[in-house]
Structure 1
């Protein structure tokens, strides 16, 4: 089990480093920023369509996709994320982990299910996920989020070749996550 409170503390340090210029941002992440610290949705991004607006957008400050070796001695194609996301224009972090789930500092949690997958060469795919609220009250950060798009991905591609059953490998990745809410 991941200690979310510890991840948030680590996140605060990482946020300060990113905003202070102490950490480099990947080219995919830098290209997404606008002069106001906002976010521009890239062409070809999977979206929920009409009737929805971008509530917030986040970039991966630090993240991995964890792959497990199967009993057959091959790497599974599915992965488990673990990432700290930082909101564009704000130091507010969100924790992303198995499920896949997203947890905000206010305790609200959403669970995602892949609705659309857009393959990308050399990196993990862009996704559109539908979400359900696992925990939250009206007015909390994630309670009215109905969809999440994962775009501008870098890295995260799983290992290949033979492996020892039961072992895992973490692969670093970057991405932008766009949180959608009804208009």
Structure 2
């Protein structure tokens, strides 16, 4: 099993504009968020104007990959993304939801959840999964309330780890799975 040790979020990230904005209240409403600066992000993963940050979380978990034959390439193999499994934590470290898939699903502890479609990615540095912009599908909730209702976009930023394993993927390893650790900030946006 491939593993990667992750350190807690550093002060550098906080000063880069990823400052704490609070956590879920558990009452079905989101607290007002401190403005999140997109200035340091590549244009491809920026949320369009007319939206505001509704919630900031830190996803801490793992991504599973499977060694599979490459389509259309004889005797060639590759690690293929199978799915994520992560806790969503407030900036204070309290678990406030989860992230899993497929399909990629974000679920708040109040019972609301949503899926989304990837719009764009941008490199995040060697050894890190890419930054990502997702267009949210309408959220679901059992009682018509919930913190994820009205979310329009989700950004994955400040990624650490999560890339496919460096171990060999060949005919002998075909069908085997490897789990790698990762961390990323998930920023949830709503229309203004």
TM-score w.r.t. the length of structure 1 is 0.75
Aligned to 2:63: 65
Alignment of 1:1-183 (within 5 A): 25-27=8-10, 30-33=11-14, 37-38=20-21, 40-41=36-37, 43-44=40-41, 46-60=45-59, 62-71=60-69, 74-88=77-91, 91-98=94-101, 99-122=103-126, 123-133=128-138, 135-136=140-141, 137-160=143-166, 161-163=168-170, 164-183=173-192
Q: Deviations over 1:94-144 (max 9, x none)?
A: 100011110111111110211010112211100000111352254411111
The CA distance in 2 between the partners of 1:36 and 1:176, in whole Å, is 11
User: Does the CA-based 8 Å contact 1:101-1:109 persist in structure 2?
Assistant: yes
The answer to which of 149-158 and 125-134 deviates more is 125-134
The CA distance in 2 between the partners of 1:90 and 1:64, in whole Å, is 17
The answer to which of 115-124 and 84-93 deviates more is 84-93
Aligned to 1:18: none
User: Does the CA-based 8 Å contact 1:67-1:79 persist in structure 2?
Assistant: yes
Instruction: Provide closer, same or farther for how the CA distance between residues 79 and 118 of structure 1 changes in structure 2, counting only shifts above 3 A.
Output: farther
The CA distance in 2 between the partners of 1:83 and 1:166, in whole Å, is 23
User: Does the CA-based 8 Å contact 1:117-1:128 persist in structure 2?
Assistant: yes
User: Does the CA-based 8 Å contact 1:67-1:170 persist in structure 2?
Assistant: yes
Larger radius of gyration: 2
Matched position secondary structure for 1:154: strand
Q: Which ranges of structure 2 fall in alignment gaps of 5 or more residues?
A: 1-5, 22-33, 71-75
Aligned to 2:31: none
State the shift of 1:80 in Å. Answer: 1.2
The CA distance in 1 between the partners of 2:54 and 2:69, in whole Å, is 42
Matched position secondary structure for 2:58: strand
Equivalent residues, number: 158
TM-score w.r.t. the length of structure 2 is 0.72
RMSD: 2.6
